[in-house]
Amino acid sequence: MKKKIGIIGGGQLGLMIAQEAHRLGAVVSALDPAPDAPAFAETDSHIVAAYDDLEALEKLGDMSDVLTYEFENVPGDILRHLEGKYDIKQGIAPLFDSQDRLREKNNAKKHGLPTPAYVAVPACSASEDCTEVPSKLSDDQRKRELENAVARIGIPCVLKTRRLGYDGHGQAVIKTAADIPQAAQLLSVPCILESFVDFDYEASVVMVSDGSRTIHFPIGRNIHKGGILDLSIVPAKGMYRNSMAGGTKDMEESALGLKIAGACEHFMEDCGYKGILAIELFIKGDDFVFNEMAPRPHNSGHYTIEGCTTNQYRELCRFLLGEPLEVPELIAPTVMKNILGQDLDAAWSVVRASDAGISGNSFCGEAGTGVYVHIYGKTESRPKRKMGHITFVPMTLEEYDECWADKFVYGKYIDGK
């Protein structure tokens, strides 16, 4: 009998989980509040309901052998009602730990990952359970609280809301004292102030663990624009010892790559996390600093679908289905381009130029040799909304800049961050 996977969330990550689950012979259901959620085009059944609708979540649980979640803002308190009654194989601990930046940073430090200097703001909200104190402060009190925190951390620094921030939302960079009054407006909710990290580039480590074995995918470099991931470049510079001129089969991680992968795997195992976990790090020379984590497939890991011998969605599904994990290998140098609303027309032009068959508002396939286009089928396009991605294999950043960058809004990146 086929095993049944239930996905809480129906976005593009749920879509790609469902695609891989079907390839492994599973039946898939998903729950999402949007009736046109992308994953619904791939799942065998779906439920349209809010994430805090306990009755609907229990219905999904009754339909499934195992449950997973595809984004980290699923209400953790709701999942506590489901844990024990249904098989949430990853557990809710990694989700809960990732939902509050203060708890996340405290957890990283506790389990051996270096972090930037940070402090809770306002100071009275240092408790991880605090939610009400900031809303009672006046504008002047918020400004003074932030001034005191800045005096401790130093300038430049970054103020972030502790919960529900994503893609640059809920953040304010403080470069001078003149930035404090505007930034203090975030303090209607608990925040965290972090020292500004001087880094060479950001990298992601995507891992999957079944509790006895942890695998990680090749470490990539992330390039952001406007606070949103634009490109993933794999492998990241300095993470591997040998040139890729002779292929990737015999690639060995460098001392830095081994140190980073070892620290991240130790963190995951020390926390007792299972399933999938992505960790973003700031890299400076031979050192690294923890930025944030996500207990779900990661945008920077889309490249694994065509760039590796197995991908992040497939290995998550293997874990969910109780199958042995497969160690991934990089097929060739790879560039993944995130397609936001402003780049959607350009992405469609790539598909049309290939004479590929187009059905509706979605596409998944090869549009030219080594050019793999994924358009998620979202019915509404708007600037900065993630609408799809394109993976180029083989491709280096320099080759991307020469051949493809001018087709998209943000342009070239050589030697840039």
What is the rounded distance in angstroms from the CA atom of residue 84 to the CA atom of residue 68? 14
CATH 3.20.20.20, domain 336-417, yes or no? no
Higher pLDDT, 202 or 248: 202
- The pLDDT tens digits of the residues spanning 367-403 come to 999 999 999 999 999 999 999 999 999 999 999 999 9
The tokens 């993944």 sit on which residue? Answer: 336
Instruction: Decide: helix, strand or coil at residue 268.
Output: helix
Is the fold of 198-332 the same as that of 336-417?
yes
Among candidate residues 207, 205, 204, the one with its CA nearest the CA of residue 276:
207
How does residue 417 score in pLDDT terms, banded at 50, 70 and 90?
A: very low
Output the DSSP codes for 285-338. Answer: TTEEEEEEEESS--GGGTTHHHHBSS-HHHHHHHHHHTPPP----B-S-EEEEE
307 with 216: CB under 8 angstroms? no
Q: Strand 157-161 to strand 201-209: parallel, antiparallel, or no bridges (unpaired)?
A: unpaired
What is the rounded distance in angstroms from the CA atom of residue 99 to the CA atom of residue 128? 11
Residue ranges per structural domain of the chain: 4-88, 117-195, 198-332, 336-417
CATH of domain 4-88: 3.40.50.20
- The pLDDT tens digits of the residues spanning 18-38 come to 999 999 999 999 999 999 999
Cβ–Cβ contacts within 10 Å for residue 161, how many? 20
The tokens 């963190």 sit on which residue? Answer: 267
Instruction: Say how far residue 299 (Cα) sits from the centre of its chain.
Output: 5
What's the CATH architecture for 198-332? 2-Layer Sandwich (3.30)
CATH of domain 117-195: 3.30.1490.20
What is the rounded distance in angstroms from the CA atom of residue 66 to the CA atom of residue 72? 18
Q: In sequence order, which residues have a C-beta less than 8 Å from that of residue 138 and are 6 or more positions away?
A: none
Q: For the residues 226-232, what does the mean pLDDT come to? A: 93
User: Is the dihedral angle over the CA atoms 5, 316, 393, 395 positive or is it negative?
Assistant: positive
